[in-house]
Amino acid sequence: MQFETGLEFARQLDRDDPLARFRDEFNFPRQSDGSPEIYLCGNSLGLQPKRARDYVTAELDKWATLGVKGHFSGDHPWMPYHEFLAESSAALVGASADEVVVMNSLTANLHLMMVTFFRPTSERYKIVIEDHAFPSDHYAVESQLRFHGIDPEDGMLLVKPREGEELVRQEDVETLVREQGDEIALMLLPGVQYYTGQVWNIEAITRLAQTRGICVGFDLAHAVGNVPLQLHDWQVDFACWCSYKYLNSGPGSVGGCFVHRRHASDTALPRFAGWWGHDKESRFRMENRFQPIPTAEGWQLSNPPILSLAAIRASLDIFQEAGGMAPLRHKSEKLTAYLQFLLEQRTGKFINIITPLDPQQRGCQLSLCCDAKHLSGRELHKRLEDNGVTCDWREPNVIRIAPVPLYNSFEDVYRFVDLLAAACNE
């Protein structure tokens, strides 16, 4: 598509957008004058769906009027509440409902998965992660290695960009697997790299690793709800994600977990066990012999927080009404391409985009480095915030901008670049 630089062009794109109506489903933070912020931070915390208040209030009312009977009463009884999120969650990650469970937080789920899927031996004991992994992933991997008596200096292999580059090359991942595959027990990599916004080739990495007997898991915190996924068909062993970024479920909300059916159905797999993962039919016999559910639910520990699940259900319902990831991805590619076009046209000499320019190698996020001699990246971020833009700063020098297709408009993008260009050109 041939883009134009004017405001009216942005407004015409919004008028032609079949998903534009979903913007009204969300609450936008307000500036001091009452006008909505230009909110481009869904990669950190998604906006609140307006219906989340109703969904959560319904459960509070049920608690007030029914007490413990709420576990088994109403359209959404608490006992199986997590099951109401399985189909819609599975649709977002390309899985079947029996391969997905909404539970815990992201890092807790990563630990639970590594209990099962990181089974080191004297010959095969190393874990591959990326050099600039989100710190929590690094901490989790390092602590798992130490728990097994393995020195992280020996047991952790880091995939790094080449000198002077920001992005990891697929061929370097492949070289690492070919050269050291016999020593690698697990690869834990991102679906989308949080800092650069680079999409990793999950399918190719999984296929190559598994030919060498390596288990493969993915942190999908920045991928789920952002890019299309086909975890079942790609044969991924496991994956975990949070739900408060692109899934708009609220701060600290419950995360999700995928376990491929070939593993989920194997009740003999070692795991940390809890009551909620026990066979549903016999759970209330209160017996002490653990019998895991032969699905992803078998990794559950305890009953989940219902108020958080209600907020997640509110957002997932909107995803379903929008038609799922296909139309959202179509808009996202157009929205981010428009952002790239305006940046190149209006701020090209001051702003460097480190995210891949190929739409197939990125989600909605663009990561920007400020090259203006008179203005540091942190100062630029503050000026944007002072002028009603909510975006994200990450050390050492990146402003992350994420136009989310569910609620961001083309005019949002236009106005952001207008403010950015003004700050750069002062």
Confidence band of 184 (pLDDT split at 50, 70, 90) = very high
Task: Give the mean model confidence (pLDDT) for residues 216-224.
Answer: 98
pLDDT 10s digits, 376-390: 889 999 999 999 999
Instruction: Find residue 54's DSSP bridge partners.
Output: none
- Work out the number of other CB atoms within 10 angstroms of the CB of residue 281: 9
Q: Do domains 7-36+324-425 and 57-321 have the same CATH topology?
A: no
Query: Cα separation of 126 and 249, whole Å?
Result: 35
Q: Is the pLDDT of residue 141 over 80?
A: yes
Q: How confident is the model at residue 269 (pLDDT cuts 50, 70, 90)?
A: very high
CB of 388 closer than 8 Å to CB of 31? yes
What does the pLDDT read at residue 272? 98
Question: CATH classification of 57-321 is 3.40.50.2000, yes or no?
Answer: no
What is the pLDDT averaged over residues 150-154?
Answer: 98
- What CATH number was assigned to the domain covering residues 7-36+324-425? 3.90.1150.10
pLDDT at 372 over 80: no
- How far apart are the C-alpha atoms of 169 and 163, rounded to whole Å? 12
pLDDT at 267: 97
Mean pLDDT, the chain, whole residue set:
96
Amino acid identity at 263: H
Distance CA 356, CA 367 (A): 9
Confidence band for 71, pLDDT divided at 50, 70 and 90: very high
Cβ within 8 Å of residue 289, ≥6 positions away: none
pLDDT of residue 358: 97
pLDDT at 6: 97
Q: Span 212-235, mean pLDDT?
A: 98
Specify the amino acid at residue 59.
Answer: E
Q: What's residue 373's pLDDT?
A: 73
The band of 426, judged by pLDDT with boundaries at 50, 70 and 90, is confident
Query: What is the residue extent of each domain of the chain?
Result: 7-36+324-425, 57-321
pLDDT at position 7 is: 98
Phi-psi category of 85—alpha, beta or left, where left has phi over 0 and alpha has psi -120 to 50?
A: alpha
% of the chain at pLDDT higher than 90: 95
Give 43's pLDDT tier (boundaries 50, 70, 90): very high
